[in-house]
């Protein structure tokens, strides 16, 4: 009986520690810049394992310091209902399930909110545990951060090239200008790399990327500029 009571106490403390620490971390990042993510550390470890020089280019900038077209481009490319859903796009999820049922090529249905939760708090490998935690963190940041902060963190932390993270770093490295001076076409080209930023390079776009850029620019016409602060 004493053993069961001790076990219940331990489990209770573990649960309290988990919820307390995760909610606190989300609250901290509500205002503080995200300078490092698990993916950045993983990529650095992979580079070291291959005997390569560490490549980590990242500089945090406010959303207002980025081109007004940058949020529009990533919404057009990654999550066109970002401003309408509450973290989960059930239309895209249903479409993905139906396509999988029909034997078509599997595609992701992750929203920008889900990608942000994964990038900032979790690891990239697929598993049911990670997916469950991703759902939990997505709900938290939707409630605590709101859309503007989610977009700001996303555009500062997303991988945009080999060792390049965030809009400012990719703007400086690939376009030789600050993120605030990226053109509509520049932003669409960056967004075109996001399905696989280690394969696609916005500094040296392939014919396929240029076609994606054109498609994204067409879709951008139907998406409003992100609300001002």
Residues 120 and 183: their CA atoms lie apart, in Å, by 27
Q: For the stretch 78-93, what's the b/e string if a residue is b when 16 or more beta carbons lie within 10 angstroms of its beta carbon? A: bbbebbebebbbeebe
pLDDT at 71 > cutoff 90: yes
Q: Would you state the pLDDT for residue 143? A: 96
Q: Would you state the pLDDT for residue 96? A: 67
Residues 66 and 30: their CA atoms lie apart, in Å, by 19
Beta carbons of 135 and 21 less than 8 angstroms apart? no
Q: Would you state the pLDDT for residue 191? A: 97
Confidence of residue 208 (pLDDT cuts 50, 70, 90): very high
Confidence of residue 7 (pLDDT cuts 50, 70, 90): confident
Rg (CA), the chain: 19
Q: Would you state the pLDDT for residue 104? A: 59
From the list 194, 207, 178, the residue with the least C-alpha distance to 75 is 194
Taking all residues of the chain, what is their mean pLDDT, rounded to a whole number? 91
**Separation of CA 101 from chain center:** 27
If one compares 117 and 9, the residue with the highest pLDDT of the two is 117
From the list 59, 5, 7, the residue with the least C-alpha distance to 33 is 59
Residue with tokens 């810049």: 33
Residues 165 and 148: their CA atoms lie apart, in Å, by 19
Confidence of residue 57 (pLDDT cuts 50, 70, 90): very high
pLDDT average, residue stretch 26-46: 95
How many other C-beta atoms lie within 10 A of the C-beta of residue 147?
A: 20
Domains of the chain: 56-220 (1.10.3810.10)
Q: Determine the straight-line distance between the first and last CA of the chain, rounded to whole angstroms.
A: 57
Q: What percent of the chain is predicted at pLDDT more than 90?
A: 76
Residue 202: what are its φ and ψ, rounded to 5°? Answer: -70, -15
Confidence of residue 98 (pLDDT cuts 50, 70, 90): low
Q: Which of 78-87, 136-145, 173-182 has the lowest mean pLDDT?
A: 78-87
From the list 112, 107, 108, 62, the residue with the least C-alpha distance to 84 is 112
pLDDT average, residue stretch 39-61: 94
pLDDT at 33 > cutoff 80: yes
């Amino acid at each position: 009986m004493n053993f069961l009571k001790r076990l219940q106490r331990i489990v209770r403390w573990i649960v309290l520690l988990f919820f307390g620490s995760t909610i606190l971390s989300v609250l901290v990042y509500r205002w503080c810049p995200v300078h490092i993510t698990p993916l950045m550390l993983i990529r650095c470890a992979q580079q070291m394992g291959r005997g390569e020089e560490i490549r980590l280019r990242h500089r945090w900038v406010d959303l207002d310091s980025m081109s007004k077209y940058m949020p529009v481009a990533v919404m057009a490319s990654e999550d066109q209902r970002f401003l309408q859903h509450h973290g989960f796009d059930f239309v895209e999820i249903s479409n993905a399930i139906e396509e999988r049922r029909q034997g078509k090529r599997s595609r992701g249905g992750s929203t920008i909110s889900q990608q942000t939760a994964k990038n900032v708090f979790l690891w990239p490998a697929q598993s049911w545990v990670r997916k469950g935690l991703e759902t939990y963190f997505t709900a938290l940041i939707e409630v605590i951060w709101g859309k503007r902060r989610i977009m700001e963190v996303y555009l500062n932390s997303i991988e945009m090239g080999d060792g390049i993270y965030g809009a400012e770093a990719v703007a400086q490295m690939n376009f030789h200008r600050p993120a605030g001076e990226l053109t509509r076409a520049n932003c669409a080209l960056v967004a075109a790399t996001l399905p696989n930023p280690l394969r696609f390079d916005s500094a040296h776009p392939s014919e396929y990327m240029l076609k994606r850029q054109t498609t994204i620019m067409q879709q951008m016409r139907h998406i409003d500029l992100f609300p001002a602060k």
